[in-house]
Amino acid sequence: MRRSLLLAMVLSAALALGSAGMAFAAEKPAKNQTLTFNLSVEPQTIDPNKSTGVPEAIVELNIFDGLTRLDKTDRPVPAIARSWKISKDGKEYTFHLRDAKWSNGDPVTAYDFEYSWKRALNPATAAEYAYYLYYLKNGEEYNTGKIKDANEVGVKAIDAKTLKVTLTAPTAYFLSLTAFPTYMPLNKKAVEAGGDTWYTKMDTLVTNGPFKIVRWSHQDKLEMVKNPNYWDARKVKLDKLVYTMVEAESTELTMFETGQIDLGHFPPRPELPRLREQKIVKFTPYLGTYFYEFNTSKAPFDNPKVRKAFAMAINRRQIVEKVTKAGEVPAMAWVPYGMPDAKAGTDFRKSGGEFFKDNDVATAKKLLAEAGYPDGKGLPPIEILYNTLEMHKAIAEAIQEMWKKNLGANVTITNQEWKVYLQNRTDGNFQVARAGWIGDYVHPMTFIDMMISNGGNNRSRWADKKYDDLVEVAKTTTNAAKQYKAMHDAEKILMDAMPILPIYFYTQPVLQKSYVKDVAISMLGFFDFSSAWIAQH
Amino acid sequence: MIFLLQYFAKRLVSIILVLWVVASATFLLMHAIPGGPFTTEKVLPEAVLKNIEVRYKLNDPLWQQYVDYMGNLLRWDLGPSFKYEGETVNNIINRSFPISAQLGLYAILLALLVGIPAGIISALKQNEWPDNLAMFGATIGFSVPSFIMASLLMFVFALKLRWLPAAMWGTPQQAVLPTLALASLPMAFFARLVRSSMLEVMNQDYIRTAKAKGLSGNTVIWRHAVKNAIMPVVTYLGPLTASIMTGSFVVERIFAIPGLGQHFVTSIYNRDYTAILGITVFYSILLVLFNFIVDIAYAFIDPRIKYVEEKE
């Protein structure tokens, strides 16, 4: 704290000298280092083994520290692991741990990781994200009860400072996974003392991250302070971090504008143009694709030509500029921007390019005629299914209009409550359904492997053996060039068959006061406050 | 005395019957809607889902789940929430009901203290300016939905004037806007109700008689008219107290108040089975209880109502 203060003072002095008379000077940290962020919902849990959602992760990533941590650009960097060695076949990782302490003073050891990972996989724990650990050898077998002995799972503490991990296949993004909540260490003593609700009691909530929770007022707010026992505590500048749980978007905005919160991430959409003009909102990249999904088992969408015709008859630019208005990017491909390619520093999307032209009505009409529906004659009525939300409705109405005008299709739109809509999609009771997919880790595979034949999340019922084979190659090879080529090829097959119709790549709108500095906002939707600070204002 | 006990016993039986019907109907309806608590956007692997179903006993046959649930209900054990890990429904109610109840009581008190006098004055000054003013206010309070009222109050007093904090709960200042938002409808309702029943009562024969006997205007109004005009308010107060004390979804959501009201709606969205049931049953208990209290209160206020047959 003192060092950074001194540095900031020297810097600001230098700048003031150099830019005398100019409107700005380097900002000094404020006296009161308290940041209030609207998390917007009550976390369902903060047991890292059991959590699944982004809000929960935004809590856990700031109170726990895993083997790795994602930096500002979402690359994994050493955290509790000081260094690691990966075997030639890419299946064995040996992590060397640094000296770190839990908030209660216990040392953080390799045993804490082994305990936590096995706990997440234990069928009795019934963790939803247990399958995040299926990368470990025998992880799936243990979780599904095929083997009973937890010691056969591919994670072992050799000693207090060495963790050996064995995977079923080389996994290029494994070091990103180890930064994820499910992979956080747990203090066995505390967890066992507290039972199922260890994390709700302040005396058994033992953590090892930049902050520690001091008060959790349910559905109201969560108060954290800097954790003096954190191994990198010198880096942490905030003294206090408060998360509020205000769900109503317009209330969040009013609280932001009246100074009750400093940072929020759900501005009401109708207000976006104004907020943008006033430079109150900014849009950060978000690893997600908004798309429509065809039911490929029912006519007319069992015909790839019809699917492509419908995909090309949409004006995406108009949708992002006139309807959604949050700086989204029209998607003429499946995998969003922001993910690495084989060569360091390149972007998978940029090198993969776009697969078709936006708003290509001529080609769309031609394809539809080839499929036997010239000018839409003979097309059955089409129904778009979406979950009840104003924005989805607005998009569906725009698309309804475009399909009517461009293809002569008779389109209706239907909304359903969230869980009813999910159930109907899973059961195949739809023709075209609105959908979204948010990446779990920063690697194209998080999008590519969703569409494998019979994949649980592939509700389009599309299946292609060649696609599956390419995914398998990408998942098992240790050769990066080969791996990325396989994923590019797979995406080409997917866009050729068009079981899903990409519309746009998401962005994350953020309400941030100008004095809030260095919050790391991940493309995965996480907010990391370990380097954040408040400037004088 | 025996008759009174008989009356209580009868009421108790009917209350238990009502609660049983409510709990059973909710149980069946809840399982009939598509999608369950673990229907998620990212589909869970079979095995993971099975582990969860075993943990929450969702793999038992439905009748078994029903019997278990009713058994637990008798012991007021409402079970674990499916949405909030490691949280019980009892806990949720215990911590959020007092907040909603506190806010609800403020709102009811405000509504009574403003609504009833406004109604009385309106009736006495019928078609004069105080009447017009009060009824204008009542029409607004009556017709503006609470989400608009809440947003409007926040816009004016928090955003524009900066007199009060926009949202959240804890300080007395934070209670002002939600109390106003919550009180506006019952306040308007009370004012209109009292006004119309006052007008009716004032034309009754016994009031004329009282006046003819030479009683002063004030005595007639306060001893005779108001006491009778207030009856409809008492009737309405029972269900109102139950519903307002268990919280309003809209007001609690807009003002970010950690009360029970939000759970009525979100538990259904989440298919949080135990929470849906627990909260519905809890609300029903309060409702029948307050209705019961109102029925008793009648006996004290209205001499025409008697629950015990008087012997000749």
The pTM score is 0.89
Compute the distance between CA of residue A283 and CA of residue A267 in angstroms, rounded to an integer: 11
Q: What is the pLDDT of residues A203-247, one digit of tens each?
A: 899 999 999 999 999 999 999 999 999 999 999 999 999 999 999
Q: How many CB pairs under 8 A join A and B?
A: 133
Q: What is the pLDDT of residue B46?
A: 84
Q: Do B83 and A52 make contact, defined as CB atoms within 8 angstroms?
A: no
pLDDT tens, per residue, chain A with 537 residues:
344 444 444 444 444 444 433 444 578 999 999 999 999 999 999 999 999 899 999 999 999 999 999 999 899 999 999 999 999 999 999 999 999 999 999 999 999 999 999 999 999 999 989 999 999 999 999 999 999 999 999 999 999 999 999 999 999 899 999 999 999 999 999 999 998 889 988 889 999 999 999 999 999 999 999 999 999 999 999 999 999 999 999 999 999 999 999 999 999 988 999 999 999 999 999 999 999 999 999 989 999 999 999 999 999 999 999 999 999 999 999 999 999 899 888 999 999 999 999 999 999 999 999 999 999 999 999 999 999 999 999 999 999 999 999 999 999 999 999 999 999 999 999 999 999 999 989 999 999 999 999 888 899 999 999 999 999 999 989 899 999 999 999 999 999 999 999 999 999 999 999 999 999 999 999 999 999 999 998
Q: pLDDT grade, residue B1 (50/70/90)?
A: low
What is the C-alpha separation between A408 and A381, in angstroms, rounded? 11
Assign B55 a pLDDT band (cuts: 50, 70, 90).
Answer: confident
- Mutate one of B42, B55, B85 to test the A interface: name it (highest A CB count within 10 A): B85
Closest CA to A34 of A216, A202, A225: A225
Which residue of chain B has the CA closest to A436?
Answer: B41
pLDDT of residue B106: 95
CATH value of A43-209 in 3.40.50.1000, 3.40.718.10, 3.30.1330.50, 3.90.76.10 = 3.90.76.10
- Measured between CB atoms, which of A143, A248, A255 is closest to B253? A248
**Is there a contact between A219 and B258 if contact means CB atoms under 8 Å apart?**
yes
Count of CA atoms in the C-beta half-sphere (13 A) of B276 = 23
Q: Which residues of B touch A419 (CB under 8 A)?
A: 33-36, 39, 269, 271
How confident is the model over A291-300, as pLDDT tens digits? Answer: 999 999 998 9
Token pair for B149: 């009222």
Q: Does A254 sit within 8 Å of B154, measured CB to CB?
A: yes
pLDDT of residue A16: 42
Which ipTM did the prediction report?
0.87
- CA–CA min distance B160, chain A (Å): 9
The pLDDT value recorded for residue B306 is 64
Q: Percentages helix, strand, coil for chain A, rounded to the nearest 5?
A: 35, 20, 40
Query: What number of other Cβ atoms are within 10 A of residue A343's Cβ?
Result: 10
A405 CA to chain B: closest CA distance, Å?
32
The average pLDDT across B271-285 equals: 93
**Residue A434's closest CA among A479, A408, A471, A400?**
A400
CA B165/CA B73 separation, integer angstroms: 40
Nearest-CA distance A323 → chain B (Å): 24
CB within 8 Å: B43 and A457? yes
Task: Give me the residue from B52, B151, B169 closest to A126, CB to CB.
Answer: B52
Q: Which CATH class is domain A27-39+215-282+512-537?
A: alpha beta
Tell me which amino acid residue A467 is.
Y
Q: What string of DSSP letters covers A319-382?
A: IIIIII-S--EE-SSSSPTT-B-SSTT-BHHHHH--SS-TT-HHHHHHHHHHTT-GGGTTPPPE
Which residue do the tokens 């004037």 mark? B161
Is A220 close to B166, i.e. CB distance below 8 A? no
Residue B311 has pLDDT above 60, yes or no: no
What is the distance in angstroms between the Cα of A231 and the nearest Cα belonging to chain B? 29
Taking the CA of residue A131 and the nearest CA in chain B, the distance in Å comes to: 7
CA distances from A315 to A318, A333, A504, B295 (A): 6, 14, 11, 64
For residue A534, give the DSSP letter: E
Question: What CATH number is given for A288-506 in this structure?
Answer: 3.10.105.10
What are B49's two structure tokens? 């889902």
Contact at CB, A219 and B96, closer than 8 angstroms: yes
Q: Is B179:B149 a contact under the CB 8 Å cutoff?
A: no
Confidence (pLDDT) at B309: 54
Looking at the partner chain, which of B35, B95, B167 has a beta carbon nearest the beta carbon of A420? B35
Max Cα–Cα distance, chain A, nearest Å: 76
Using a CB-CB cut-off of 8 Å, the residues of chain A touching B256 are 220, 244-248, 251
Distance between A376 CA and the closest CA of chain B, angstroms: 33
Interface mutation vs chain B, best among A128, A135, A257, A280, most B CBs within 10 Å: A128
The per-residue pLDDT for B43 is 83
- B246 neighbors B100 (Cβ within 8 angstroms): yes
Mean pLDDT score of chain B: 89
pLDDT at A313: 96
Task: Give the pLDDT mean for B120-143.
Answer: 90
Gap from B103 CA to chain A (nearest CA, Å):
15
Concatenated DSSP letters of B27-77: HHHHHHSS--TT--SSPPPHHHHHHHHHHTTTTS-HHHHHHHHHHHHHTT-
Pairwise CB contact (< 8 Å): B166 & A258: yes
Give the chain A residue nearest B250 (alpha carbons): A248
Strand partners, A36: A242
- List CB contacts (< 8 A) between B86 and chain A: 45, 47, 196-197, 199-200
Q: Give the domain ranges of chain A.
A: 27-39+215-282+512-537, 43-209, 288-506
Partners of B42 on chain A (C-beta within 8 Å) are 52, 457
Check CB contact under 8 Å for B87 and A200: yes
By Cβ distance, the residue of B34, B168, B256 closest to A419 is B34
CB < 8 Å to A140, chain B: 47
Residue A293 β-bridge partners: A433, A500
Closest Cα of chain A to B21: distance in Å? 26
Whether A471 and A169 have beta carbons less than 8 Å apart is answered as no
Q: How far apart are CA B233 and CA B36, in angstroms?
A: 42
Q: What is the pLDDT of residue A378?
A: 93
* B168/A246 CB distance under 8 A: yes
